[in-house]
Structure 1
Amino acid sequence: MAIPWLDHSAYTVEEASDLRRLVYNPPGKRIDRKKGRERLRLISPPFSIRRRPDVCVEAGRSLATFGPVFAQIYGQGEAPMTITSLRRRDHAADADALLGSVGFARSGVEVAVVDADGRPLPPGEVGEIVCRGDVVTAGYWDNPRATAEALRDGWLYTCDMGSFDRHGYLTLRDRSKDVIISGGSNIYPREVEEVLLRHADVAEVCVTGQPDPE
């Protein structure tokens, strides 16, 4: 935030950890929304990037503090912040389902949700998120094995699990490697975390699976 050109820029990137420090103030202190916006450099049109897929609860708290001034972008190093986006006006929709999504595919990028065999899934079905386009990496340097695992038939397999709604908005469920399998069912830690975060006394939470003999 100390880079001089930010004073003259119309866009600012703010990581989740820094945004949280503005939203969660020390006990007994009230946030000054005007000063908070100045610190974020939210100059028209405002812009925000979340480094990690966040839960609807966190987005709601941010909106309650600063108002509908954010845009979110979902991406990863292999497709730099260009997979999907949730626009500023989408944040003002006052719908938890929409607010909890990461938006729709950005221009020049094709996004799909597929099953374990790489077949596209219909809206509402959870699968792995894949994408393709000119922005997608050509592979990992000097690592053909990792390249073959991530890039298949021109698609980048993100290892993120998600689903589309009927309007084309994508919602992240969890990382495929974090899914907990119990009794033949898939449990997504992110969904459990979102419920726990709704409690007023819970500031942060992390759900992990533990081996069970049964």
Structure 2
Amino acid sequence: MKKIQFLFFVLLIPAFALSQINVEKNGKVAVEAEHFFKQEKDEIRKWYAIDNQSVLLYKGTEPVQCETAGGNQFIAVLPDTRQTHDDKLIRGENFSNEPGKMAIVSYKVQVENPGKYYVWVRAFSTGAEDNGIHVGLNGTWPESGQRMQWCEGKNQWTWASKQRTEEVHCGEEQLIFLEIPSPGEHVISFSMREDGFRFDKFVLSKTYEFPEEQ
């Protein structure tokens, strides 16, 4: 596998220019990843919004995948220093198994039908070291939102809603969900598990079904 090394900087699209309140309808809401309204705990790793105008320089030939992302944009948590299993894992720097500790992006959703919502994320992973993220609700990080995992669909945008467990490292279905307690506005947040993670869109759905959104 050719090692890709992040060398330069990415033009960060201002969050305030993209943020919005996303409204649930009929038990479902879909949100573009670049439409976050705030970013925090980004001293070590930061989410960057990437499009065709971004300044993104890699040592290698890996495509940026803007053309196949929703709205031709996505976000990535950078820099990416652990790209293969041979690269050193440094907890609190390029890996965080504990949610809510590093590189958090947050989104506002307006919910009319509270209850259990499965969380689906459309991600692009190239290997085993850029395929995990955590999801939380209203500043909390429940067990049901930890260790979202991708193993299938490498080198392409792929929807998944699976949780990595001790028994199944590639993730088990129907374990990633949030319990939204009441109607009204709520905050959905994602935090880094592995650096280099590429994030295009997420869907909250009261039914566990593969998203139709691209």
Report the TM-score, using the length of structure 2 for normalisation: 0.25
Higher relative contact order (CA 8 A, sep 6+): 2
Bigger share in helix: 1
Bigger share in strand: 2
Greater C-alpha radius of gyration:
1
